[in-house]
Amino acid sequence: MNLETAKSLKQGDYIHTPNRFNADGTPMRARITSIKTWKTRPNEIEVRCKRGLSEYAIFHESELDFIELGYGS
């Protein structure tokens, strides 16, 4: 995922990881809880997401290669 795609995400969107899978073989998927950007640092971003009941993750701009735009239900 590139920086512009990450900036266009909104709360409630889904992302998935192409290199990690669930037990049934489907890619791990998470729901976006928030996107944090800064006016003074336009090339930095934090994508915060939740998976399941208690798993949370934060992806920074250097880790955007680990996620892709997902499909939601």
What confidence tens digit (pLDDT) does each residue in 4-53 have? 999 999 999 999 988 889 889 888 999 999 999 999 999 999 999 999 99
- pLDDT, average across residues 49-64: 93
Domain boundaries, the chain: 3-69
Q: Is the pLDDT score of 73 beyond 70?
A: no
pLDDT at 72: 63
pLDDT at 71: 75
Phi, psi of 33 (to 5 degrees): -100, -35
Q: Give domain 3-69's CATH architecture.
A: Roll (2.30)
